[in-house]
Amino acid sequence: MTDVADTTASLIAAIWLRIQPLIEERLATIDQAAAAATAGSLAEELRVEALDVAHKLAGALGMYGYDEGTRVAREIEILLGGSEPDAARLSALIAELREAIFPRS
């Protein structure tokens, strides 16, 4: 890599570390929606909030090179776009999204 590419990669990595708490917060919102959907009590307000969060994650993850995370977040967004999302599918997608963002070693 060139010095510019190294510097850019370092800056992106530093920014990614700073936004991880926000990413976790957004994942928690989607987790709440999945839990509520599983319980059969997903309120419209929470569904819309989780939909917005999934949309933001799809965009942000792509900027940091997490293409698989973007793909999964978009699937979650589409699922939450319906009035009654499939709770089991939503939970499975959230697990997939977490693995795409924070893979286990």
The pLDDT tens digits for 24-56 are: 999 999 999 999 999 999 999 999 999 999 999
* Structure-token match 């959907």, residue found: 37
Q: Which of 101, 41, 54 is nearest to 81 (CA)?
A: 54
Q: Which of 39, 40, 26, 41 is nearest to 76 (CA)?
A: 26
Q: Residue 102 corresponds to which tokens in the numbers above?
A: 């924070």
Whether the Cβ atoms of residue 32 and residue 50 lie closer than 8 Å to each other:
yes
Q: Which of 70, 64, 62, 60 is nearest to 93 (CA)?
A: 70
Question: pLDDT at position 51, please?
Answer: 97
Whether the per-residue pLDDT at 1 is higher than 70: the answer is no
Whether the per-residue pLDDT at 93 is higher than 80: the answer is yes
Whether the Cβ atoms of residue 75 and residue 47 lie closer than 8 Å to each other:
no
